[in-house]
């Protein structure tokens, strides 16, 4: 146990210094939450674009054979502490995209886009999907409601932020970097999770692997982008 703890401290110290060097002036560091800071971190910019801030991207395959599927999770606008009236942002000016390359050139063969808007009540929020693999045309669904189109499952809603990381300890170590003796400034621990109890909005899409995979290859590249309408 002592040895394990020592290892943790050493590496944590390294990470702290690393962060200090790498981040320079930006307070936050996570999977992609609040990055790029100049655009999406309220601490860095009064005009931070929270709705278009990608929090995280997950993508994995599951199942086997013809039932094998690819799950993609794009979380955004988080992390936020819960509040009773919290809901997914319904920002019609943001385009959320998940890109899939199946040839290895990092150019997308499939791009799934999600747009959001309200109806005439200005309250009921909907997502409009385009580019769902194997699904023709656009599909409109209310947020917070799972929808299946053929073999494709979709969902958008406010969820638990799935990331786990001691961001608080990381920030504390940053504050001490270079001022404390080695080992004394380490504040990261494995029992403190900054993202615990916090929410993000999430786009979740599950598609058959057969709908996105290229001929004669089993490799895929997945990435996500957000964009705001030009002005």
Min dist CB 22 to another protein, Å, is 5
Q: The tokens of 99 are what?
A: 């890109």
Min dist CB 15 to another protein, Å, is 6
Min dist CB 92 to another protein, Å, is 5
Token pair 């615990």 is found at 196
Nearest to 187 by CA among 201, 204, 172: 172
Min dist CB 58 to another protein, Å, is 5
Residue partners of 211: CB distance under 8 A and separation at least 6:
133, 134, 151, 152
Which regions of 43-185 does DSSP assign to beta strands (E)?
54-62, 69-80, 94-101, 110-118, 125-130, 139-142, 147-149, 152-160
Q: Which residues pair with 128 in a beta bridge?
A: 115, 140
What is the DSSP-derived secondary structure letter of residue 104?
S
Min dist CB 77 to another protein, Å, is 8
């Amino acid at each position: 146990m002592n040895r394990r703890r020592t290892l943790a401290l050493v590496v944590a110290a390294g990470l702290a210094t690393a962060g200090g060097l790498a981040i320079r002036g930006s307070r936050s560091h996570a999977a992609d939450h609040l990055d790029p800071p100049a655009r999406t971190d309220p601490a860095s910019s009064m005009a931070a674009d929270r709705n278009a801030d990608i929090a995280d991207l997950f993508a994995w395959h599951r199942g086997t054979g013809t039932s094998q599927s690819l799950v993609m999770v794009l979380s955004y606008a988080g992390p936020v502490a819960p509040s009773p009236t919290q809901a997914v942002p319904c920002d019609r000016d943001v385009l959320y995209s998940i890109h899939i390359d199946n040839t290895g050139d990092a150019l997308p063969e499939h791009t799934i886009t999600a747009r959001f808007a309200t109806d005439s009540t200005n309250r009921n929020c909907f997502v409009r999907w385009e580019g769902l693999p194997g699904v023709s045309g656009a599909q409109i669904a209310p947020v917070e409601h799972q929808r299946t189109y053929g073999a494709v499952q979709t969902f958008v809603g406010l969820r638990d932020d799935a990331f786990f990381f001691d961001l608080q300890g990381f920030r504390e170590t940053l504050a001490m970097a270079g001022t404390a003796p080695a080992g004394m400034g380490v504040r990261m621990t494995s029992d403190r999770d900054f993202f615990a109890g916090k929410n993000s909005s999430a786009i979740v899409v599950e598609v058959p692997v057969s709908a996105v995979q290229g001929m004669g290859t089993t490799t895929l590249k997945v990435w996500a982008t957000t964009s705001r309408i030009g002005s």
